[in-house]
Structure 1
Amino acid sequence: MDQKHRDELVRRVAADLIANGLAGATLQRLAAAAGTSGRMLVHHFGSRDSLMALAVARAREDELADMRRALPADADFVGRLPDAWRWFTSPEARGSFRLFGEVAAQARLAQPDDDQGVRRGLSEDWLDQFALGFSACGLDAQEARVAATELLAIVRGLVLDLEATGDLERVTQAYGRLVAHWGHGLGAAAPA
Protein backbone atom coordinates (compact mmCIF):
# COMPACT_ATOMS: atom_id res chain seq x y z
CA MET A 1 0.00 0.00 0.00
CA ASP A 2 1.33 3.44 -0.85
CA GLN A 3 1.83 6.09 1.81
CA LYS A 4 -0.99 8.28 0.49
CA HIS A 5 -3.53 5.46 0.90
CA ARG A 6 -2.15 4.56 4.32
CA ASP A 7 -2.41 8.21 5.43
CA GLU A 8 -6.00 8.36 4.18
CA LEU A 9 -6.95 5.30 6.24
CA VAL A 10 -5.36 6.84 9.33
CA ARG A 11 -7.16 10.13 8.64
CA ARG A 12 -10.53 8.36 8.40
CA VAL A 13 -9.94 6.42 11.60
CA ALA A 14 -8.84 9.63 13.36
CA ALA A 15 -12.07 11.31 12.21
CA ASP A 16 -14.05 8.38 13.62
CA LEU A 17 -12.27 8.62 16.96
CA ILE A 18 -13.01 12.35 17.16
CA ALA A 19 -16.65 11.78 16.30
CA ASN A 20 -17.23 8.64 18.38
CA GLY A 21 -14.42 8.38 20.95
CA LEU A 22 -12.34 5.46 22.12
CA ALA A 23 -15.18 3.61 23.82
CA GLY A 24 -16.44 0.95 21.47
CA ALA A 25 -13.68 1.55 18.93
CA THR A 26 -13.76 -2.02 17.68
CA LEU A 27 -11.80 -3.09 14.67
CA GLN A 28 -15.11 -3.48 12.83
CA ARG A 29 -16.16 0.10 13.61
CA LEU A 30 -12.78 1.47 12.55
CA ALA A 31 -12.82 -0.59 9.36
CA ALA A 32 -16.27 0.74 8.49
CA ALA A 33 -15.04 4.29 9.07
CA ALA A 34 -11.98 3.64 6.91
CA GLY A 35 -14.03 2.02 4.16
CA THR A 36 -12.21 -1.30 4.31
CA SER A 37 -12.23 -4.53 6.28
CA GLY A 38 -10.77 -5.24 9.69
CA ARG A 39 -8.56 -7.89 8.12
CA MET A 40 -7.08 -5.33 5.72
CA LEU A 41 -6.46 -2.85 8.54
CA VAL A 42 -4.56 -5.49 10.50
CA HIS A 43 -2.67 -6.42 7.35
CA HIS A 44 -1.65 -2.78 6.73
CA PHE A 45 -1.05 -1.66 10.33
CA GLY A 46 -0.16 -4.86 12.19
CA SER A 47 -2.81 -4.49 14.90
CA ARG A 48 -5.77 -2.44 16.02
CA ASP A 49 -3.56 -0.86 18.72
CA SER A 50 -0.94 0.23 16.16
CA LEU A 51 -3.65 1.77 14.00
CA MET A 52 -5.23 3.47 17.02
CA ALA A 53 -1.89 4.96 18.08
CA LEU A 54 -1.35 6.41 14.60
CA ALA A 55 -4.92 7.72 14.44
CA VAL A 56 -4.72 9.35 17.89
CA ALA A 57 -1.40 10.98 16.92
CA ARG A 58 -2.98 12.24 13.68
CA ALA A 59 -6.00 13.60 15.56
CA ARG A 60 -3.64 15.39 17.96
CA GLU A 61 -1.63 16.95 15.12
CA ASP A 62 -4.83 18.14 13.46
CA GLU A 63 -6.22 19.50 16.74
CA LEU A 64 -3.07 21.51 17.44
CA ALA A 65 -2.93 22.85 13.88
CA ASP A 66 -6.59 23.91 14.12
CA MET A 67 -5.98 25.55 17.51
CA ARG A 68 -2.99 27.50 16.16
CA ARG A 69 -5.06 28.71 13.20
CA ALA A 70 -7.96 29.71 15.46
CA LEU A 71 -5.73 31.42 17.99
CA PRO A 72 -2.33 32.41 16.59
CA ALA A 73 0.24 33.62 19.11
CA ASP A 74 0.52 37.19 17.92
CA ALA A 75 0.00 40.69 19.29
CA ASP A 76 -3.78 40.37 18.75
CA PHE A 77 -4.01 37.11 20.72
CA VAL A 78 -6.43 38.44 23.34
CA GLY A 79 -8.46 40.19 20.64
CA ARG A 80 -8.85 36.83 18.89
CA LEU A 81 -10.19 35.05 21.99
CA PRO A 82 -13.87 35.75 21.16
CA ASP A 83 -13.53 34.22 17.69
CA ALA A 84 -11.53 31.32 19.11
CA TRP A 85 -14.56 30.45 21.25
CA ARG A 86 -16.42 29.58 18.06
CA TRP A 87 -13.73 27.02 17.29
CA PHE A 88 -13.52 25.74 20.89
CA THR A 89 -17.26 24.97 20.76
CA SER A 90 -17.31 23.59 17.20
CA PRO A 91 -18.24 19.92 16.81
CA GLU A 92 -14.67 19.08 15.72
CA ALA A 93 -12.99 20.78 18.67
CA ARG A 94 -15.50 19.34 21.13
CA GLY A 95 -14.87 15.89 19.68
CA SER A 96 -11.13 16.41 20.13
CA PHE A 97 -11.62 17.51 23.74
CA ARG A 98 -13.68 14.36 24.41
CA LEU A 99 -11.17 12.10 22.67
CA PHE A 100 -8.17 13.50 24.49
CA GLY A 101 -10.06 13.38 27.78
CA GLU A 102 -10.45 9.66 27.15
CA VAL A 103 -6.78 9.34 26.20
CA ALA A 104 -5.76 11.12 29.42
CA ALA A 105 -8.06 8.92 31.51
CA GLN A 106 -6.67 5.75 29.94
CA ALA A 107 -3.12 6.96 30.50
CA ARG A 108 -3.96 7.73 34.13
CA LEU A 109 -5.37 4.25 34.65
CA ALA A 110 -2.42 2.60 32.91
CA GLN A 111 0.29 4.71 34.58
CA PRO A 112 -1.14 6.43 37.67
CA ASP A 113 2.20 7.85 38.81
CA ASP A 114 3.40 9.04 35.39
CA ASP A 115 3.03 12.82 35.35
CA GLN A 116 5.65 13.21 32.63
CA GLY A 117 3.84 11.09 30.03
CA VAL A 118 0.78 11.39 27.87
CA ARG A 119 -1.32 13.44 30.28
CA ARG A 120 1.30 16.13 30.65
CA GLY A 121 1.79 16.29 26.90
CA LEU A 122 -1.92 16.91 26.38
CA SER A 123 -1.57 20.19 28.27
CA GLU A 124 1.92 21.40 27.44
CA ASP A 125 1.31 22.15 23.75
CA TRP A 126 -1.76 24.21 24.58
CA LEU A 127 -0.07 26.00 27.47
CA ASP A 128 2.95 26.81 25.31
CA GLN A 129 0.80 28.28 22.52
CA PHE A 130 -1.37 30.26 24.90
CA ALA A 131 1.65 31.57 26.82
CA LEU A 132 3.26 32.69 23.55
CA GLY A 133 0.06 34.55 22.73
CA PHE A 134 -0.15 36.28 26.08
CA SER A 135 3.56 37.16 25.84
CA ALA A 136 2.93 38.68 22.40
CA CYS A 137 0.28 40.88 24.08
CA GLY A 138 2.83 42.23 26.55
CA LEU A 139 2.70 39.94 29.58
CA ASP A 140 6.02 38.81 31.02
CA ALA A 141 6.82 35.10 30.72
CA GLN A 142 5.61 34.14 34.20
CA GLU A 143 2.33 36.07 33.94
CA ALA A 144 1.80 34.72 30.42
CA ARG A 145 2.15 31.15 31.70
CA VAL A 146 -0.31 31.82 34.52
CA ALA A 147 -2.80 33.40 32.10
CA ALA A 148 -2.31 30.43 29.74
CA THR A 149 -3.10 28.07 32.61
CA GLU A 150 -6.27 30.01 33.42
CA LEU A 151 -7.37 30.02 29.79
CA LEU A 152 -6.76 26.31 29.31
CA ALA A 153 -8.56 25.41 32.53
CA ILE A 154 -11.52 27.64 31.72
CA VAL A 155 -11.86 26.43 28.13
CA ARG A 156 -11.65 22.77 29.11
CA GLY A 157 -14.03 23.25 32.01
CA LEU A 158 -16.57 25.19 29.97
CA VAL A 159 -16.46 22.70 27.10
CA LEU A 160 -16.98 19.89 29.62
CA ASP A 161 -19.90 21.84 31.10
CA LEU A 162 -21.31 22.38 27.59
CA GLU A 163 -21.06 18.64 26.87
CA ALA A 164 -22.91 17.86 30.11
CA THR A 165 -25.61 20.53 29.93
CA GLY A 166 -25.88 21.72 26.32
CA ASP A 167 -26.23 25.29 27.66
CA LEU A 168 -24.17 27.15 25.06
CA GLU A 169 -25.54 30.56 26.04
CA ARG A 170 -24.49 30.28 29.69
CA VAL A 171 -21.02 28.87 29.00
CA THR A 172 -20.44 31.51 26.31
CA GLN A 173 -21.32 34.21 28.84
CA ALA A 174 -18.86 32.72 31.32
CA TYR A 175 -16.15 32.65 28.66
CA GLY A 176 -17.00 36.26 27.78
CA ARG A 177 -16.37 37.31 31.38
CA LEU A 178 -12.95 35.71 31.27
CA VAL A 179 -12.12 37.43 27.98
CA ALA A 180 -13.33 40.74 29.41
CA HIS A 181 -11.03 40.22 32.40
CA TRP A 182 -7.98 40.00 30.13
CA GLY A 183 -9.34 42.48 27.61
CA HIS A 184 -9.70 45.17 30.25
CA GLY A 185 -5.96 45.67 30.18
CA LEU A 186 -5.14 44.19 26.80
CA GLY A 187 -7.94 45.33 24.48
CA ALA A 188 -10.19 42.30 23.81
CA ALA A 189 -13.93 42.23 23.23
CA ALA A 190 -16.41 39.75 24.68
CA PRO A 191 -17.72 37.01 22.36
CA ALA A 192 -20.96 37.59 20.50
Structure 2
Amino acid sequence: MSESRDDLLSRILGFAARDGLADRSLREIAAGAGTSHRMLLYHFSSREGLLAAVVGAMEERQRAAMTALAETAGTPGELMTGVWRAVSSPEARPFVRLFFEVFALAARGAAPGPPGLTTSWLADAEKAGERLGVETDPAMLRLGVAVSRGLLIDLLAGEDPGEVDAAHDLFVRLAGQAPPPAAEQGR
Protein backbone atom coordinates (compact mmCIF):
# COMPACT_ATOMS: atom_id res chain seq x y z
CA MET A 1 0.00 0.00 0.00
CA SER A 2 1.48 3.31 -1.07
CA GLU A 3 1.47 6.29 1.26
CA SER A 4 0.09 9.55 -0.07
CA ARG A 5 2.82 12.09 -0.84
CA ASP A 6 0.88 14.84 0.95
CA ASP A 7 0.33 12.74 4.10
CA LEU A 8 3.98 11.76 4.12
CA LEU A 9 5.09 15.36 3.63
CA SER A 10 2.86 16.45 6.51
CA ARG A 11 4.48 13.88 8.83
CA ILE A 12 7.94 14.96 7.67
CA LEU A 13 7.07 18.59 8.45
CA GLY A 14 6.07 17.52 11.97
CA PHE A 15 9.33 15.63 12.41
CA ALA A 16 11.31 18.57 11.03
CA ALA A 17 9.62 20.97 13.46
CA ARG A 18 10.58 18.75 16.39
CA ASP A 19 14.02 17.53 15.37
CA GLY A 20 15.21 19.43 12.29
CA LEU A 21 16.31 17.89 9.01
CA ALA A 22 19.45 19.67 7.94
CA ASP A 23 21.95 17.11 9.25
CA ARG A 24 19.71 14.04 9.07
CA SER A 25 20.19 11.15 6.67
CA LEU A 26 17.33 9.95 4.52
CA ARG A 27 16.98 6.88 6.76
CA GLU A 28 16.80 9.06 9.90
CA ILE A 29 14.15 11.27 8.29
CA ALA A 30 12.18 8.18 7.23
CA ALA A 31 12.32 6.72 10.75
CA GLY A 32 11.26 10.04 12.26
CA ALA A 33 8.29 10.25 9.90
CA GLY A 34 7.29 6.62 10.42
CA THR A 35 8.06 5.39 6.92
CA SER A 36 10.88 3.82 4.94
CA HIS A 37 13.64 5.53 3.03
CA ARG A 38 12.33 3.74 -0.09
CA MET A 39 9.01 5.57 0.23
CA LEU A 40 10.88 8.86 0.50
CA LEU A 41 12.84 8.03 -2.65
CA TYR A 42 9.66 6.94 -4.41
CA HIS A 43 7.91 10.25 -3.69
CA PHE A 44 10.84 12.72 -3.71
CA SER A 45 13.58 11.01 -5.82
CA SER A 46 16.44 12.03 -3.51
CA ARG A 47 17.27 13.61 -0.17
CA GLU A 48 17.70 16.93 -1.95
CA GLY A 49 14.30 16.55 -3.63
CA LEU A 50 12.76 15.82 -0.24
CA LEU A 51 14.38 18.91 1.31
CA ALA A 52 13.14 21.06 -1.56
CA ALA A 53 9.60 19.69 -1.09
CA VAL A 54 9.72 20.41 2.64
CA VAL A 55 10.93 23.97 2.04
CA GLY A 56 8.25 24.48 -0.60
CA ALA A 57 5.53 23.22 1.74
CA MET A 58 6.75 25.39 4.62
CA GLU A 59 6.99 28.45 2.39
CA GLU A 60 3.43 27.77 1.22
CA ARG A 61 2.24 27.60 4.85
CA GLN A 62 4.01 30.85 5.70
CA ARG A 63 2.51 32.63 2.69
CA ALA A 64 -0.94 31.31 3.67
CA ALA A 65 -0.38 32.77 7.14
CA MET A 66 0.48 36.12 5.50
CA THR A 67 -2.75 35.97 3.50
CA ALA A 68 -4.73 35.24 6.66
CA LEU A 69 -2.98 38.11 8.49
CA ALA A 70 -3.95 40.45 5.65
CA GLU A 71 -7.59 39.83 6.57
CA THR A 72 -7.11 41.27 10.08
CA ALA A 73 -4.20 43.70 9.74
CA GLY A 74 -5.19 47.35 9.65
CA THR A 75 -2.07 48.61 7.90
CA PRO A 76 0.76 47.29 5.74
CA GLY A 77 3.10 47.82 8.72
CA GLU A 78 0.95 45.60 10.93
CA LEU A 79 0.99 42.94 8.23
CA MET A 80 4.76 43.16 7.78
CA THR A 81 5.32 42.91 11.53
CA GLY A 82 2.95 39.95 11.86
CA VAL A 83 4.64 38.07 9.04
CA TRP A 84 8.06 38.82 10.52
CA ARG A 85 6.99 37.48 13.92
CA ALA A 86 5.78 34.26 12.28
CA VAL A 87 8.86 33.60 10.12
CA SER A 88 11.38 34.63 12.79
CA SER A 89 9.82 32.73 15.68
CA PRO A 90 11.88 30.08 17.45
CA GLU A 91 9.37 27.48 16.20
CA ALA A 92 10.14 28.42 12.60
CA ARG A 93 13.94 28.27 13.00
CA PRO A 94 14.37 24.62 11.93
CA PHE A 95 12.58 25.48 8.69
CA VAL A 96 14.54 28.70 8.24
CA ARG A 97 17.80 26.74 8.57
CA LEU A 98 16.52 24.20 6.10
CA PHE A 99 15.43 26.96 3.70
CA PHE A 100 18.95 28.33 3.56
CA GLU A 101 20.47 24.86 3.22
CA VAL A 102 18.22 24.06 0.26
CA PHE A 103 18.80 27.52 -1.17
CA ALA A 104 22.58 26.97 -1.03
CA LEU A 105 22.27 23.55 -2.70
CA ALA A 106 20.12 25.03 -5.46
CA ALA A 107 22.48 27.99 -5.92
CA ARG A 108 25.38 25.57 -6.42
CA GLY A 109 23.31 23.54 -8.88
CA ALA A 110 23.57 20.52 -6.56
CA ALA A 111 19.82 20.14 -6.04
CA PRO A 112 16.55 21.49 -7.33
CA GLY A 113 15.12 24.35 -5.37
CA PRO A 114 11.42 24.80 -4.84
CA PRO A 115 10.10 26.81 -7.78
CA GLY A 116 9.28 30.45 -7.24
CA LEU A 117 11.03 30.98 -3.90
CA THR A 118 10.77 34.73 -4.32
CA THR A 119 8.13 35.20 -7.01
CA SER A 120 5.54 33.30 -4.98
CA TRP A 121 6.12 35.67 -2.03
CA LEU A 122 5.83 38.67 -4.33
CA ALA A 123 2.54 37.47 -5.83
CA ASP A 124 1.03 36.70 -2.43
CA ALA A 125 2.28 39.99 -0.96
CA GLU A 126 0.64 41.86 -3.85
CA LYS A 127 -2.65 40.07 -3.09
CA ALA A 128 -2.25 40.92 0.59
CA GLY A 129 -1.76 44.57 -0.37
CA GLU A 130 -4.96 44.44 -2.41
CA ARG A 131 -6.82 43.09 0.63
CA LEU A 132 -5.48 46.04 2.62
CA GLY A 133 -6.55 48.41 -0.14
CA VAL A 134 -3.05 49.65 -0.95
CA GLU A 135 -1.21 49.71 -4.23
CA THR A 136 2.01 47.76 -4.00
CA ASP A 137 5.38 48.51 -5.52
CA PRO A 138 7.01 45.34 -6.89
CA ALA A 139 10.50 46.65 -6.09
CA MET A 140 9.49 47.40 -2.49
CA LEU A 141 7.95 43.94 -2.12
CA ARG A 142 11.17 42.34 -3.40
CA LEU A 143 13.19 44.51 -1.02
CA GLY A 144 10.97 43.38 1.86
CA VAL A 145 11.60 39.71 1.05
CA ALA A 146 15.35 40.36 0.78
CA VAL A 147 15.51 42.31 4.05
CA SER A 148 13.58 39.62 5.88
CA ARG A 149 15.83 36.87 4.55
CA GLY A 150 18.95 38.82 5.48
CA LEU A 151 17.67 39.39 9.00
CA LEU A 152 16.81 35.70 9.29
CA ILE A 153 20.44 34.92 8.50
CA ASP A 154 21.42 37.22 11.37
CA LEU A 155 19.14 35.28 13.72
CA LEU A 156 20.57 31.95 12.59
CA ALA A 157 24.08 33.31 13.10
CA GLY A 158 23.25 33.97 16.75
CA GLU A 159 22.74 37.71 16.65
CA ASP A 160 20.66 39.25 19.43
CA PRO A 161 16.97 38.71 18.53
CA GLY A 162 16.03 42.08 20.05
CA GLU A 163 18.50 43.89 17.81
CA VAL A 164 17.35 41.94 14.74
CA ASP A 165 13.70 42.73 15.55
CA ALA A 166 14.64 46.40 15.98
CA ALA A 167 16.22 46.38 12.51
CA HIS A 168 13.05 44.89 11.06
CA ASP A 169 10.94 47.48 12.88
CA LEU A 170 13.12 50.21 11.34
CA PHE A 171 12.63 48.71 7.89
CA VAL A 172 8.84 48.71 8.42
CA ARG A 173 8.94 52.38 9.40
CA LEU A 174 11.15 53.30 6.44
CA ALA A 175 8.96 51.32 4.04
CA GLY A 176 5.96 53.27 5.32
CA GLN A 177 7.73 56.52 4.40
CA ALA A 178 8.73 55.40 0.91
CA PRO A 179 7.36 57.49 -1.94
CA PRO A 180 4.59 55.85 -3.99
CA PRO A 181 5.52 53.68 -6.96
CA ALA A 182 6.64 55.59 -10.05
CA ALA A 183 3.30 54.88 -11.74
CA GLU A 184 1.48 56.84 -9.01
CA GLN A 185 3.85 59.82 -8.93
CA GLY A 186 2.57 61.29 -12.20
CA ARG A 187 -1.09 61.29 -11.12
- What letter is aligned with 1:154? V
| Aligned residue in 2 for 1:123 | 118
Q: Give the CA deviation at 1:168.
A: 0.8
| Aligned residue in 2 for 1:94 | 93
- What letter is aligned with 1:157? G
User: Of 149, 153, 170, which residue of structure 2 is paired with 1:160?
Assistant: 153
Deviations 1:30-59 (A, max 9, x none): 1221123435x3596485549716544433
The secondary structure found in structure 2 opposite 1:122 is coil
| CA distance in structure 1 between the aligned counterparts of 2:41 and 2:133, rounded to whole angstroms | 50
Change (3 A) 1:46 1:65: closer
Change (3 A) 1:72 1:122: farther
1:75–1:137 CA contact under 8 A, matched in 2: no
| CA distance in structure 2 between the aligned counterparts of 1:103 and 1:73, rounded to whole angstroms | 32
The secondary structure found in structure 2 opposite 1:165 is coil
1:162–1:168 CA contact under 8 A, matched in 2: yes
- What letter is aligned with 2:134? G
1:28–1:38 CA contact under 8 A, matched in 2: yes
2:12–2:33 CA contact under 8 A, matched in 1: yes
Change (3 A) 1:43 1:155: closer
| CA distance in structure 2 between the aligned counterparts of 1:108 and 1:9, rounded to whole angstroms | 27
Change (3 A) 1:163 1:184: same
| Aligned residue in 1 for 2:134 | 138
| CA distance in structure 2 between the aligned counterparts of 1:127 and 1:6, rounded to whole angstroms | 27
Query: TM-score w.r.t. structure 1 length?
Result: 0.70
Change (3 A) 1:72 1:104: farther
1:15–1:59 CA contact under 8 A, matched in 2: no
Matches within 5 A, 1:47-62: 48-49=46-47, 52=50, 54-62=53-61
| Aligned residue in 2 for 1:189 | none
| CA distance in structure 2 between the aligned counterparts of 1:97 and 1:15, rounded to whole angstroms | 15
Deviations 1:133-156 (A, max 9, x none): 4465534x5xx1111122111111
| CA distance in structure 2 between the aligned counterparts of 1:138 and 1:121, rounded to whole angstroms | 24
Gaps of 5+ in 1: 187-192
The secondary structure found in structure 1 opposite 2:117 is helix
| Aligned residue in 1 for 2:183 | none
| Aligned residue in 1 for 2:141 | 148
Matches within 5 A, 1:165-180: 165-180=158-173
Change (3 A) 1:6 1:110: closer
| Aligned residue in 2 for 1:33 | 32
- What letter is aligned with 1:150? L
Change (3 A) 1:46 1:153: closer
| Aligned residue in 2 for 1:83 | 82
Percent identity between the aligned chains? 28
